[in-house]
A and B are shown apart, each in its own frame.
Chain A
């Protein structure tokens, strides 16, 4: 998986800066009046020391959250840390900069030589992953504002069926793959576009996005942290890191008395119950080998499907879409209301150039489709392998990949010393 993750880190990049069009209001003044048109001014960037302050706050919040989880074993401490993060990274920083969206900055930096990756974006991307590699997903527990806002509304969490969790659990992988594909082809920043809570943080969003955020919060009343568990692409990366964490939080500080309280308290279904291998071991191993054997097949099928979808996927790239439109409807070039066509005509580019650019982008989608499909095939194959494999477990243990280190189980555990 690590190799795969590296492959996908190295797939990347984005963006289409959408030119802003201004429309002539009234007939322009025609005389030289001596009036000097002021230069177009842009909002000053955030001061550099404030950018580093953000990184410092991130580090501090990570340290505090990790300390509360691993050392103090304090659910209350984690919760208040997450409230602080919600206020700082959410409402004060208005959801940006954010580790989740930084995936796209990294991708863009890899694929677009003209894009200069801000050090702060790199640190926001790396620091939670590094911490997760050693201590588990304490970032999710106490630092992520998106997680915090959902955690506050998890009033009546219910346990979803395992099969449904597995199926929905595929979505973040797909989302991650699509986000990287669209970033790498400079088509779209999907993660930012569909951040459901940024509208709340900024007190400004169109109705549709506010509705989306509201729906996520409503779902979050019954299904704890739905975005984190079934959408968050960064959660995929954190999960991978956390799987290898040596100092992940433990439910009980000493011996588990198997009271089951922890399993009942976890709203994320991220506590694995004690199991012993059932059935014939030889049969189990054969089944496992069969699933392992089929992984390349899953990858092939996925890749084929992904590549077959490259044409519709590429339609969401602005250049490809414009080229397709102008080829099919050349009259759009003269349509004054078709702003993209007008901008293209005014750019002085030829139709041939546009079509060539579109073909190049579509080709990127073709190979990106192979990789995305192959990746999804691998995910499906490994999920089946995991379902088929058995590991003897004597006590209740956190599922390191999916555990969000929120500390509820520790709080409920009657063994305190």
Chain B
């Protein structure tokens, strides 16, 4: 009898369990009930950055009074910002030194003794007073100029539309096309799914170009042949992820790279060999949905970001040792 009683108790408990499971599931998981999206692509874990990895701290913010910032460059203490249909020259205190109205909205900027502007498919050169010095032939309808780099002898033009870098003399004469896909020479070409295709020059004057579809940075010799490259493809902080990253890049002292990414928006430092060093600005320092900021550096190693969403110039300085 004791056994039968025990069985009865067990059966009642089990029956209750069955009833509870069915009722709970029927009510909780009813059709149309708001449930967690099982297909959600949640990268929030990858957006977290350890405090130890953050090497820079924000020093200063300069608010811009523009509708649509487009790009930034730094040259000899002056910030050059292209925004709307204007070229702004500012000092690091945020004081506007000069504003030059342009006939169209520029897409890229580089500065040496002159200001070189990419105007969608054409390069225009201005002096610091805003007077036009050069205007080259355009590169056709397919062309989308996303970046410029200037050496003492050449201007390099990154054309995302044609997936090419043009090496030109300063009068616009084309010297060579770099990175053209050539299956005979096993040159794979640039993979540029969207208009994010940045270039910069090393301290020695060699061209570095982002190959965003491959998450690579590629280095070319003086003849335009591939010299070296490095790739860091990972959704983790130390790598690049998504369809086209890094979206922006610049080179600072000791040929270290400053990269800026979209998707998971963050700015990072890599050494001259492509080894991950740390973070300048973590994802939580940007808007929840943000664009990759354009980057440049000053002579003191500070990283200057153009935050497209907040319409700010944000200056980051290296953390002092011992600071957390």
Q: Which of B6-14, B59-67, B112-120, B130-138 contacts A (4 or more CB under 8 A)?
A: B6-14
**What residues of A have a CB within 8 angstroms of the CB of B243 in the complex?**
26-29
What residues of chain B lie closer than 8 Å to A20, measured between beta carbons?
A: 39
> Which of A21, A25, A208 sits near B25, CB closer than 8 Å?
A208
From A45-53, A108-116, A275-283, A335-343, the one touching the partner chain is A335-343
Question: Which one, A85-93, A136-144, A235-243, A316-324, is touching chain B?
Answer: A316-324
Contacts of A23 in B (CB 8 A): 37, 39-41
Chain A residue contacts of B40, Cβ below 8 A: 23
Give the size of the chain A interface in residues (CB under 8 angstroms): 42
Residues of A within 8 A of B305 (CB): none
Asked if B104 lies at the interface with its beta carbon under 8 angstroms from chain A, I say no
- The answer to whether A339 touches B37 (Cβ under 8 A) is yes
CB-CB under 8 A from A211, the residues of chain B are 17, 21
Contact status A337-B32, CB under 8 Å: no
Q: A29 and B244: CB pair below 8 A?
A: yes
> Quick one: which of B1-59 are within 8 Å of A by CB?
4, 7, 10-11, 14-15, 17-18, 21-22, 24-26, 30-34, 37, 39-41
Residue among A26, A33, A315 with most chain B CB within 10 A: A26
Q: With an 8 A cutoff between CB atoms, is B263 at the interface?
A: yes
Known: A27-B262, A29-B243, A158-B4. A322 touches B195 (CB 8 A): no
Give A200-225 as 1s and 0s: 1 = Cβ < 8 Å from B's Cβ atoms. Answer: 00000000100110011011001100
Known: A29-B244, A222-B11. A318 touches B32 (CB 8 A): yes
Q: Name the one of A16, A21, A26, A222 contacting B31, with C-beta atoms under 8 angstroms.
A: A16
| Bound: A24/B244 CA distance, A | 15
CB-based contact B193/A29 at 8 Å: yes
Report yes or no: A321 in contact with B195, Cβ–Cβ below 8 A: no
Q: How far is the CB of B70 from chain A (nearest CB, A)?
A: 16
Task: Give the residue of A22, A29, A317, A339 whose beta carbon is less than 8 angstroms from that of B194.
Answer: A29
- The reply to whether the CB of B192 lies closer than 8 angstroms to some CB of chain A is yes
Contact check, A338 vs B14: say whether CB atoms are below 8 A apart. no
Q: Mark interface residues in A320-332 (1 if CB within 8 Å of B CB, else 0).
A: 0110010000000
Residues of chain B lying within 8 A (CB to CB) of residue A30:
193-195
- Also in contact, A25 and B195, with CB within 8 A (given A219-B15, A315-B30): no
**Contact (A215, B17) CB under 8 Å given A316-B30, A339-B34, A340-B34:** yes
Check: A39 CB closer than 8 A to any chain B CB. Answer: no
Of the candidates B18, B39, B195, the one having the most CB atoms from chain A within 10 angstroms of its own CB is B18
A194 at the interface (CB under 8 A from B): yes
Residues from chain A with a CB closer than 8 A to the CB of B34 are: 337-340
The smallest C-beta distance from B30 to any residue of chain A, in angstroms, reads 5
Report the bound CA distance from A370 to B309 in whole Å. 59
In the complex, residue of chain B having the shortest beta-carbon distance to the beta carbon of A196 = B18
Please tell me which one of the listed residues B18, B161, B242 contacts residue A212 in the complex, with CB atoms under 8 A apart.
Answer: B18
Residues of B contacting A212 with CB < 8 Å? Answer: 18, 21-22
Beta-carbon nearest neighbor of A33 in chain B: B193
Query: Quick check: is A397 within 8 A (CB to CB) of the other chain?
Result: no
Across the two chains, which residue of chain B brings its CB closest to A220? Answer: B14
A26 B241 Cβ-Cβ under 8 A: yes
The B-contacting residues of A in range 181-213, CB under 8 angstroms, are: 187-188, 193-194, 208, 211-212
Contact B21 A215 (CB under 8 A): yes
Cα–Cα, bound, A303→B115 (Å): 85
User: Across the interface, which residues of B come within 8 angstroms of A25, CB to CB?
Assistant: 41, 242
* B251 within 8 A of partner (CB): no
- On chain A, the residues within 8 Å of B31 by CB distance are 16, 18, 187-188, 316-318, 321
Question: Is A31 close to B, CB under 8 A?
Answer: yes
Q: Which residues of chain B have C-beta atoms less than 8 A from A317's C-beta?
A: 31-32
Question: In the complex, what distance in Å separates the CA atom of A234 from the CA atom of B244?
Answer: 56
> Does B160 touch A at the CB level, under 8 Å?
yes
Quick check: B37 and A321 within 8 Å, CB to CB? no
- Most A CB contacts (10 A, CB to CB) among B7, B10, B34, B242 go to B34
Pick the contact of B39 from A21, A28, A208, A340 — CB < 8 Å?
A21
Closest Cβ of chain B to A402, distance in Å, is 19
Contacts of B192 in A (CB 8 A): 31
Name the distance in Å between A218's Cβ and chain B's nearest Cβ.
5
Listed by A's residue number, 14 A-B pairs whose Cβ atoms lie within 8 Å are A21-B37, A24-B41, A27-B243, A27-B262, A29-B243, A31-B193, A208-B24, A212-B21, A215-B17, A215-B21, A317-B32, A321-B31, A322-B32, A339-B37
